[in-house]
Chains A and B, each alone.
Chain A
């Protein structure tokens, strides 16, 4: 069935790199997405990767995709306090752009 799994919490020191991991089940997913949710706000699209790519870099963000293991990761370089939020991984499923979300990883950045 459709399932996306993420670890629930990650705590890092300001300036370090953060790596958020995700596993998904639908091998036919065309795109895989990372969304960020700050307290009391909606979901903001951070980045996405097409399923035939292994890596995508966008400024401080690096997405790695291991299609064989159905594993997706998001690396945030030089993590700042403003990066504190919940990060959701999502796969597309069912053909009609039905996004299946993970439970979200709560990233806490401390001085």
Chain B
């Protein structure tokens, strides 16, 4: 039962253009969402997050949008740079999961390639 899904395994974008990475979830109890960036053979690094009480959060070139009715979130990167090439994971959690150790539920990841 995949509660968090990233249906696009890969995405290729030209440098300077917008990258849009999508994530869908099924559990309506999720109340916090995070995006991580991961390079090969390294651990994920935190990128940006959003609480379910918001529908948008922005940090520099990165913006996350949350559509609760559609159970969908997206990460926008504008403008995209070659250094953004990595695997991006979305993750979700909920208050009841916090009582179970605060675990995160991860999507499968999307590999972004930004071409010069």
Decide if A and B are genuine partners: no
